């Protein structure tokens, strides 16, 4: 049994992520399944996030409190951002992330939690210094967002009123990412989670394919 569990974490789950997102690409590229792709996107994000956090080591009050706080604060920031256009620029959410509260999809909070957790886990593999982990993870999140901003309109996730996000979008992303990663380091939340790192890279590659395809088909 231990062997099966070890395989599922170390090999089976990452392979499942790859297959999952390859199927997603097929659904996205086929015109008659594009709407199905949009429909299942939020459920897919919930499912893969659950798979990741089921393999978290060290659930305790501190970990739950920190991750819950990131979820709540990120949604509040998004609500303010959508309502005012001051934080991230003027943008609106589409159908791709499901149920909304005050024009903001609830799942966006889960996305912030996952990205913070996974980025922290990736950087902390290479250094144990808090400042390097915090700044490195925040920088990795901004890099991810630069790509995501190109892919988001293609998936009907969100769109900026002037097509491209303003520079303050990335500045606020970096600031929030610094705060969230500081909290993880401050309260010593264990982010050493191999499936989380795999999912981060699989999602990143998924967005790369979408963006490259879009650029190629526009020529």
**Tens-digit pLDDT profile for the chain (219 aa)?**
445 444 445 556 788 999 999 999 999 999 999 999 999 999 999 999 999 999 998 899 999 999 999 999 999 999 999 999 999 999 999 999 999 999 999 999 999 999 999 999 999 999 999 999 999 999 999 999 999 999 999 999 999 998 889 999 999 999 999 999 999 999 999 999 999 999 999 999 999 999 999 998 876
Can you give the residue range of the structural domain that contains 60? Answer: 2-218
**Alpha carbons 85 and 104: distance in angstroms, whole number:** 13
Residue 141 phi, psi dihedral angles, 5° rounding: -65, -40
Q: What are phi and psi of 30, to 5 degrees?
A: -85, 120
Query: What is the tally of structural domains in the chain?
Result: 1
| pLDDT tens by residue, 95-118 | 999 999 999 999 999 999 999 999
């Amino acid at each position: 049994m231990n062997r099966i569990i070890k395989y599922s974490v170390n090999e089976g789950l990452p392979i499942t992520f790859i297959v999952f997102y390859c199927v997603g690409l097929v659904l996205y590229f086929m015109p008659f399944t594009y709407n199905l792709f949009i429909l299942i996107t939020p459920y897919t994000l919930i499912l893969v996030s659950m798979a990741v956090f089921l393999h978290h080591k060290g659930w305790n009050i501190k970990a739950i409190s920190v991750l819950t706080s990131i979820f709540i604060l990120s949604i509040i920031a998004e609500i303010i951002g959508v309502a005012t256009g001051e934080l991230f620029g003027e943008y609106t959410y589409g159908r791709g992330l499901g149920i909304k509260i005050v024009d903001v999809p609830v799942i966006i909070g889960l996305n912030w939690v996952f990205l913070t957790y996974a980025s922290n886990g990736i950087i902390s593999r290479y250094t144990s210094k808090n400042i390097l982990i915090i700044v490195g993870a925040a920088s990795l999140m901004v890099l991810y967002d630069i790509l995501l901003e190109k892919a988001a309109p293609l998936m009907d996730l969100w769109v900026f009123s002037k097509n491209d996000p303003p520079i303050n979008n990335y500045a606020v992303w970096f600031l929030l990412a610094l705060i969230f990663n500081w909290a993880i380091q401050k309260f010593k939340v264990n982010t050493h989670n191999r499936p989380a790192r795999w999912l981060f890279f699989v999602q990143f590659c998924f967005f790369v394919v979408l963006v490259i395809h879009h650029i190629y088909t526009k020529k």
